[in-house]
Structure 1
Amino acid sequence: MATIDITESELSQVLADNEIVLLDFWADWCGPCKQFAPVYEQTSEQHDDVVFGKVDTEAEQQLAAAAGITSIPTLMAFREQVLVYSQPGAVGGAQLNQLVDAVKALDMEEVHAKVAEQAQQEGSASD
C-alpha cells in the first residue's frame, strides 16, 4: 500500500476505519523529511495491513499543533485508535520495519487496560 496524505478532517475517520495507522509529520523544506520519505514509502509497500499516512505540517498546522509536533519528521503509530508510539527523527528501513512489527505484536487488551487505568487515575486526581 502506498502512503496517503492525511488532513485534519480525515484523521479521525482514518483512525476509526483502520486497526494500525502510522503518521509521518513532515514539511517540504525539511531535509531529513525528504531523506526519510523514500524509506517510509518503501516500508508502506511491505505492509498491506497498515495505513501509512503523511501529514504536511505546513498545510495542516492545526493538526500538527493538536498532535504536539515540535520537531519534524515525527513518526506516530496508532493501533485501535490508541497512540502507541511517538518519536521525532527519521529512522532507517530496518528500524521502521521493527516498529511496525512491534505495533502489530502489542497485546491490545493490556494497552486498553492501561489507558483505562490512567484515565481513572487522572479522573480521581481532579476530584
Structure 2
Amino acid sequence: MATIDLTAETFDETVGKDGIVLVDFWAEWCGPCKRFAPIFEQSSEAKTEIVHAKVDTEDQQELGAKFGVTAIPTLMAFRDGIMVFNQAGALPGPALQQLIDAVEGLDMDEVREKIAEHEAAQH
C-alpha cells in the first residue's frame, strides 16, 4: 500500500481505526522531509498491514496546530486510535523499523490502563 494523504476531514476516521497508523507531518519546502519521504514510502510498501499517511502542514495547517507540530518532519504513531509515539525529526530506515516493531509489540490493554490512571490522577 502506498502512502495516503490525510486532511482535517479524513484524519480522525483514519487514525481512529483498529491497527497501526503512522502519520508523517511534512512540507514541500522541507529538506529533511524530502529525505525522509522515500524511507517512509519504502516502509509503506514493505509493511502493507500498517497505514502510512502524510499530512502536508502547508495545506492542512489546522491539523499541525491541533497536534502542536512545531518542527517537521514530525512522525506520529497511532495504534487502535491512541497516539503512542510523537517525535520531530527524520528517522533513518532502521530506526523507523525499530519504531514499528515497538508499536507492534505494545500491550494495548496496558496502554489503556495507564491512560485511565493518568486521567484519574488529573481529577
Query: How far is 1:18 from its partner?
Result: 3.9
Give 1:24's aligned residue. 24
Instruction: Tell me the C-alpha RMSD between the 2 structures.
Output: 0.8
Give 1:57's aligned residue. 57
Which protein shows a greater Rg? Answer: 1
Give the secondary-structure state (helix, strand or coil) at the position aligned to 2:10: helix
Structure 2 residues without counterparts, runs of 5 or longer: none
Give 1:9's aligned residue. 9
Which runs of 4 or more aligned residues in structure 1 lie more than 4 Å from their structure 2 counterparts after TM superposition?
A: none
Query: Which aligned pairs between 1:1-127 and structure 2 lie closer than 5 A?
Result: 1-122=1-122, 124=123
- When you count helix as a share of all residues, which structure comes out higher? 1
8 Å CA contact retained: 1:18, 1:51: no
**Could you state the TM-score of these two structures normalised by the residue count of structure 1?**
0.94
**Could you state the TM-score of these two structures normalised by the residue count of structure 2?**
0.97
8 Å CA contact retained: 2:17, 2:81: no
8 Å CA contact retained: 2:17, 2:80: no
1:56-77 residue CA offsets vs partner (Å, 9 max, x unmatched): 0000000100010000000000
Give the secondary-structure state (helix, strand or coil) at the position aligned to 1:114: helix
Structure 1 residues without counterparts, runs of 5 or longer: none
Query: How far is 1:119 from its partner?
Result: 1.0
